[in-house]
A and B are shown apart, each in its own frame.
Chain A
């Protein structure tokens, strides 16, 4: 079955450490996205990529970095520069067709103490 896999599901880190969240998809989608969700707020876009080896900052990119070396993979690194990293992180993919809906992974819940 095709889908998007995020790992790990739960992640705990000490403040000051970088951490990388994995996102892999086998849907053959060109576009991939990273969102952050905090309680009571809508999803906020961190980074997105429409094609391999290219990505753009979203609304809240500061303190995060990404790479897109393969079509299937779009890892997100939460750096120590991110002021409030504790959140629910969601990866999504879509075709490049206009208006194409997103397909989400099951999320990674990051807790930084």
Chain B
């Protein structure tokens, strides 16, 4: 089992819809969690950290479920510009970052 798993997609979603995807992790001792966004052939950029109580940033909501060992990202009122690959990142027991392979999201007009 991979340490961090994501559905590769692509998720094809109409503009304005709500979309959510999960990321599962195997190390129950993981402490820090992040979502990054990566556009085609570009570097990843931090979208948001994920806090235990869940957090929201505009149209984006991130949640952590420690019992089931996954984090989620919800995007409301999706825009064409949201099309990208979303990378999940989790720290391991040595505080090193473990990256998921990413979920590709395509927003269609």
Contacts and interface: CB of A to CB of B under 8 A. Distances in A.
B43 A106 contact: yes
Q: Does more than half of chain A's interface fall in helix, strand or loop, or is it mixed?
A: loop
Q: A interface, how many residues as a size bin?
A: 10 to 19
Interface residues of B, number: 22
B62 to A, nearest CB: 13
Contacts, number: 44
A108 B84 CA distance: 19
A43 B91 contact: no
Nearest to A101: B46
A64 B23 CA distance: 30
Interface in B17-58: 31-32, 34, 41-46, 49
Contact of B34 (A44, A90, A101): A101
B102 A42 contact: yes
A75 interface: no
Contacts of A41: 101
A90 B44 contact: yes
Contacts of B45: 104
Given A99-B31, A99-B32, A101-B49, A42 B99 contact: yes
